[in-house]
């Protein structure tokens, strides 16, 4: 079977790491996400996160559960003593604040995340300073796909 540029093979199966680089949506310098599933009914999404830099990425918490599967490279949370490496599954309990770090020497990390609810970005005082939910993620995708010529509606294939 053949797949389209977004790696979608029919409606239900996709090549997660796409051949077309444009499918990756920039979210910060050297940080991208690859949308797989936008759940606008229950509020949540699945994506790959790709990071090609080291250091602190964000301090945040989630009101709902998050499941992660590390595909490539490694990363960790400052609040824990473990390192999430390729092949590992990570559970993020609702309400836990953590600080995502990619260590020097990791050229690239790619992790699948299933995120329920939202990303709540917090400062050192634990005050929420920014957030992302399924709707803001869709908006970012629309702007990116429009800007690179795929068209804003390109994101629609990921929305359920
Ligand atoms: Fe998290």
Please state the separation of Cα 155 from the chain's center in Å. 15
First-to-last C-alpha distance (Å) of the chain: 23
Task: Report the separation in Å between the CA atom of 156 and the middle of ligand 1, taken as the mean of its atom positions.
Answer: 25
pLDDT in tens, 39-98: 999 999 999 999 999 999 999 999 999 999 999 999 999 999 999 999 999 999 999 999
Kindly give the distance from the C-alpha atom of residue 60 to the centroid of ligand 1, in angstroms, as a whole number. Answer: 6
pTM: 0.95
Give residue 2 CA to ligand 1 midpoint distance, Å: 34
Q: Domain 19-158 - what CATH class?
A: mainly beta
With 70 as the cut, is the pLDDT of residue 16 above it?
Answer: yes
The rounded Å distance from CA 149 to ligand 1 centre is 31
Using the mean position of ligand 1's atoms as its centre, give its distance from the Cα of residue 155 in Å: 23
For residue 127, the tally of other CB atoms under 10 A from its CB is 8
How do residues 140-156 score in pLDDT, each as one tens digit? 999 999 999 999 999 99
pLDDT at 6: 76
Asked whether the beta carbons of 109 and 72 are under 8 A apart, the reply is: yes
Distance (angstroms) between ligand 1 centre and the Cα of 100 equals 7
Return the DSSP state at 43: T
Residue 8's pLDDT is 80
Q: CB atoms < 10 A from the CB of 128, how many? A: 12
The Cα–Cα gap between 59 and 68 comes to 16
Going by C-alpha positions, the residue among 98, 93, 105, 51 that lies closest to residue 76 is 98
CB atoms within 10 A of CB 107: 11
Looking at every residue in the chain, the average pLDDT score rounds to 95
Domain limits, the chain: 19-158
Give the pLDDT band of residue 5 (cuts 50, 70, 90).
confident
- Report CA(62)–ligand 1 centroid distance (Å): 6
- What is the structure's pLDDT at 1? 59
Q: What percent of the chain has pLDDT over 90?
A: 92
Residue 35 pLDDT level (bands cut at 50, 70, 90): very high
Contact 90, 49 (CB under 8 A): no
pLDDT at 9: 77
Select the more confidently predicted residue: 11 or 23: 23
């Amino acid at each position: 079977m053949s797949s389209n540029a977004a790696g979608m093979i029919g409606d239900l199966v996709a090549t997660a790491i796409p051949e077309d680089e444009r499918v990756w949506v920039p979210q910060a310098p050297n940080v991208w996400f690859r949308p797989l599933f936008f759940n606008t009914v229950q509020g949540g999404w699945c994506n790959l996160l790709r990071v090609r830099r080291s250091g602190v990425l964000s301090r945040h918490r989630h009101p709902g559960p998050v499941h992660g599967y590390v595909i490539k490279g490694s990363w960790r949370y400052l609040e824990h003593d473990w390192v999430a490496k390729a092949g590992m599954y990570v559970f993020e309990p609702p309400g836990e604040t953590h600080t995502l770090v990619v260590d020097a020497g990791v050229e690239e990390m790619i992790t699948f995340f299933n995120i329920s609810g939202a990303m709540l970005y917090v400062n050192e005082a634990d005050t929420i300073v920014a957030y992302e939910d399924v709707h803001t993620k869709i908006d970012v995708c629309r702007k990116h796909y429009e800007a690179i010529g795929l068209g804003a509606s390109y994101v629609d294939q990921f929305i359920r």
